[in-house]
A and B are shown apart, each in its own frame.
Chain A
Amino acid sequence: MMNDMNDAPSAQTPPILSVRALSKVFDISGGLLDQLALKDGRLRRVKTTVKALNRVTFDIAPGETFSVVGESGCGKSTLGRTVIGLYPPNGGEVYYGGQRIDVLSPRQMLPFRRRMQMVFQDPYASLNPRKRVAAILEEPLRFHHPELTAREVGDRVKEVMEQVGGDVQWLTRLPHEFSGGQRQRISIARALVVDPEFIVADEPISALDVSIQAQILNLMMDAREQRGLTYMFIAHDLSVVAHISTRVAVMYLGSLCEVAPAETLFAAPRHPYTQALLSAIPRLGKKKSGHVRLKGEVPTPIHLPTGCVFHGRCRYADERCVREIPELLEKDGGTHVACHGVAEERI
């Protein structure tokens, strides 16, 4: 697995997925009556919105395992769901294989549905409790390949089931008869059965027991090698990310701070937030040293800070950081950093 990481995506290969200035805003203001507020003696309609994604831009090259990390509520799940088309974006563009997909109708989107799949976090909620495993796996296949005979469908389902380490006898059972790890294998099988190229994995192992996590990770990495998959892997477990990723994107409050090849990022983090985040990884046998302690709380995404979203907690922040939103700029070694301090080379 280690040698894979060295094939850093060259600039020549066209990206499989491109995201440009993607924004997503959720309206949480409720009904009309909740929106009314008294301001300056006048009744006004005020909308409360959560800015979940702010102008997120990145590319994923074919064959990569692109990980998105960040703390809870930073928008990494929203990013995954917007990329795959579960949420319509409020701004920006998503390209898949060079074609813009965020503006397509559900019907036009169908060919892409077969090529992009998703694995979910909660194995207890992601399988329909009323359907047998066979039905869960056969339905997408029949839907996308109506030309297949019942026998061919059955064969492909069995093949995928074996690939994810399941038993053919599982097919006749209902989801509640399985453990969390087994269900996650079935979830992965459901994603793989339509033979996709690209899989968004939204924290696929964080709901699992630690002993099972490694099994599921190995299963996903084996599937990647056998099928030439590209992953967008959403996680908050940094040690897992360091182990499997080719490139890593660090998110904070809906914005990308840093995108870099995994080895570079973990060896030499550039962005102050990445430095703080990585210093929080517990290490066996090492004394507490160089632990960056952040002050204060994460601001709410309802009232975003001006300028750099991190400026309130950053020890390098200056007047420009408060005023101006930093762009994601390319540095040496394929690293992209959104930080005025790094751009001005004072960090």
Chain B
Amino acid sequence: MMDHWQRFKASDLFYDFKRDKVAIVSFAVFVLLFVCAFSAPLIAPYNPYDPANIDIMSSEIPPVWMAGGMDDYILGTDAQGRDLLSTMIYGMRISIVIGLCAVLLQAVIGIVIGLIAGYYGGKLDGFFMRLADVQLSFSYLMVAIFVSAVLQAAVGVGRFAEIAVPFLIIVIGLAQWPQYARTVRASVLAEKKKEYVEAARVTGFNSHRIMWRHILPNCMSPILVLSTIQVANAVMSEAALSFLGLGMPVTRPSLGSLINAGFEYIFSGSWWITAFPGLLLVILVLAVNLLGDFLRDVLNPKLYKG
């Protein structure tokens, strides 16, 4: 463990990281938000899922610095009387969980398909890549609307609320696998021509072992870069679906459904219900995207190896 840490400290990645202020700040912001989100029960002032904490009489209280604000609710309350700060922290947890799990699903599907298509080539490659083209020519929103409509009709709206998290993970995960498949395939095509792969074949290793143990580790840099960007995309996709009312229910809101819920109250003056979750979403996505940009610049061998 110490060995790994020592090696990481000596790596180019860490060297560049120390010199990149944007990367340091965005990394710090991301870690802060991540820790906050996953220690939500410990740091949030209220538990928004507990009906005992919800009082309809204290709905739409403005933030503490405005007239009518209360010290108990720093960022005010939403239309149901929940503390907005607590709801946002819990909502961010849901957004991040869905984002990470959806990217994991995308990565698993995309890496397997990309490896197989790139390594075997020929008809298999043609089939998977045309499948990816077809997939990308659908808007994922259209697919999500269609699937969620069918699901809601099949299991009922009440039950749908319970399966909303896995539903969102699967929809976002399935929608974006071609990104991974294309990236992985491109790297595999470049790697498999190298002589170390031929050396592995001469040794008699089977295709499975060559693909997973020899080629894949050499394709990790673009996968890593893509993953950070895809996490940001998945969080945004989740917010978009929830904003359209296809995602998380109001009882267990994610950032997107909070923005959606507050949207109706903007013109009645309660702008904070939409604005604060929106701001948090922007900060979260921006931090992840800036980290992704940093990784792309550092890990791109064309930019620093010449």
Interface size class of B (residues with CB under 8 A): 10 to 19
Contact B206 A106 (CB under 8 A): yes
The CB with the most chain B CB atoms within 10 A, among A86, A125, A144, is that of A125
The residue that B199 contacts in the complex, of A85, A109, A120, with Cβ under 8 A, is A120
The proximity string for A residues 114-156 relative to B, scoring 1 for CB distances below 8 Å and 0 otherwise, is 1011101110011111110000000110011000000000000
CA distance A81 to B199 in the complex (A): 11
Flag whether A84 is at the interface (Cβ < 8 A): yes
Say whether A117 contacts B195, CB under 8 Å: no
| Residue of chain A at shortest CB distance from B204 | A113
- The reply to whether B203 and A194 form a contact with Cβ atoms under 8 Å apart is yes
One of B195, B202, B205 near A84 (C-beta < 8 A): B202
Interface of chain B residues 206 through 229 with chain A (CB within 8 A): 206, 214, 217-218
- Is A122 touching B204 in the complex (CB atoms < 8 A)? no
Q: Which residues of the partner chain B approach A81 to less than 8 Å between Cβ atoms? A: 198
Tell me if A270 is interfacial: C-beta within 8 Å of chain B.
no
A190 within 8 A of B: yes
Judged by a CB distance under 8 angstroms, whether A110 is at the interface is yes
Among residues 305 to 332 in chain A, which have CB atoms less than 8 Å away from a CB atom of chain B? none
In the complex the two chains form, is B218's CB within 8 Å of A130's CB? Answer: yes
A321 and B206 CA atoms in complex are apart in Å by: 46
| Chain A residues touching B, majority SS | mixed
Q: Is the CB of A126 within 8 A of B195?
A: yes
In the complex, what residue of chain A is closest to B126 when comparing beta carbons?
A31
Task: Check A120–B198 contact: CB distance below 8 A.
Answer: yes
- The reply to whether A122 and B217 form a contact with Cβ atoms under 8 Å apart is no
B302 within 8 A of A: no
Q: Quick one: closest B residue to A117, CB to CB?
A: B202
Q: Which residue of B lies closest to A32 (CB)?
A: B126
Partner of A118, one of B194, B202, B214, B218: B202
In the assembled complex, the Cα of A152 lies from the Cα of B206 at a distance in Å of: 24
- How would residues 26 to 55 of chain A score, 1 for a CB under 8 Å from any chain B CB and 0 otherwise? 000000000000000000000000000000
Quote the shortest CB–CB distance from B6 to chain A (angstroms): 13
Choose from B198, B201, B204, B205 the contact partner of A114 (Cβ within 8 Å).
B204
B202 touches A127 (CB 8 A): no
CB-CB nearest in chain A for B196:
A128
| Nearest neighbor of B206 in chain A, beta-carbon distance | A106
List, in ascending order, chain B residues with CB within 8 A of A110's CB.
Answer: 204
Report the separation of the CA atoms of residues A84 and B196 in the bound assembly, to the nearest whole angstrom: 15
* Alpha-carbon separation in the docked complex, A182 to B242 (Å): 58
The answer to whether B206 touches A125, judged by C-beta atoms less than 8 angstroms apart, is no
- B205's closest neighbor in chain A, by CB? A143
Residues of B within 8 A of A131 (CB): 217
User: Which chain A positions have C-beta within 8 A of B204?
Assistant: 106, 109-110, 113-114, 143-144
Instruction: Provide the residues of chain B in CB contact with A113, threshold 8 Å.
Output: 202-204
Using CB atoms, name the residue of chain A closest to B200: A128
- Which of A84, A121, A130, A187 neighbours the largest number of chain B CB atoms within 10 Å of its CB? A130
Distance, CA A144 to CA B209, complexed state (A):
14
A117-B198 Cα distance, complex, nearest whole Å: 11
Q: Is the CB of B202 within 8 A of A86?
A: yes
Residues A120 and B203 in contact, CB atoms below 8 Å apart? no
**Which of these, A130, A143, A187, contacts B203 with CB under 8 Å?**
A143
Contacts A86-B198, A120-B198 hold; do A128 and B214 have CB atoms under 8 A apart?
A: yes
Asked if residues B201 and A86 are in contact (CB atoms below 8 Å), the reply is yes
> Which residue of the partner chain B has the closest CB to A190?
B199
Q: Which residues from B are CB-within-8-Å of A118?
A: 198-199, 202
Residues of A near B195 (CB, < 8 A) are: 120-122, 125-126
Q: How far is the CA of A122 from the CA of B202 in the complex (A)?
A: 16
**Cα distance, A143 to B214, chains bound together (Å):** 14
Taken together as a complex, chains A and B put the C-alpha atoms of A238 and B217 apart, in Å, by 39
Which residues of A (262-319) have their CB < 8 Å from a CB of B?
none
From residue 102 to 116 of chain A, which have CB atoms closer than 8 A to chain B? 106, 109-110, 113-114, 116
In the complex, chain A residues 51-108 whose Cβ is within 8 Å of any chain B Cβ? 81, 84-86, 106
Which residues from chain A contact B206 at a C-beta distance below 8 Å? 106
By beta carbon, the residue of chain B nearest A130 is: B217
User: Do A128 and B218 touch (CB < 8 A)?
Assistant: yes
Neighbouring B residues of A120 by C-beta, 8 Å:
195, 198-199
> Which residues on A sit within 8 Å (CB–CB) of B201?
86
A130 to B191, CA, bound (A): 12
Residues of B contacting A117 in the complex (Cβ-Cβ under 8 angstroms): 202-203
The residues of B that contact A190 with a CB separation of less than 8 Å are: 199
Instruction: Report the Cα distance A313→B206, complex, angstroms.
Output: 45
- How far apart are the CA atoms of A120 and B196 in the complex, in Å? 9
Shortest A186–chain B CB gap in Å is 11
Taking the closest CB of chain A, its distance from the CB of B108, in whole angstroms, is 21
17 more A-B residue pairs beyond the given contacts A127-B199, A194-B203, with a C-beta to C-beta distance below 8 A: A81-B198, A84-B202, A86-B201, A86-B202, A109-B204, A113-B203, A113-B204, A116-B202, A118-B199, A120-B199, A122-B195, A126-B198, A126-B199, A127-B196, A128-B200, A139-B203, A187-B199
Report which A residues bind B (CB closer than 8 A). Answer: 81, 84-86, 106, 109-110, 113-114, 116-118, 120-122, 125-131, 139-140, 143-144, 187, 190, 194
Instruction: List, sorted by A's number, 19 A–B pairs whose CB atoms are closer than 8 Å.
Output: A84-B202, A86-B201, A86-B202, A109-B204, A110-B204, A114-B204, A117-B203, A120-B199, A121-B195, A125-B195, A128-B218, A129-B196, A129-B218, A130-B217, A140-B203, A143-B203, A143-B205, A144-B204, A194-B203
Q: 4 closest pairs, A vs B, by CB?
A: A113-B204, A126-B195, A120-B195, A130-B217
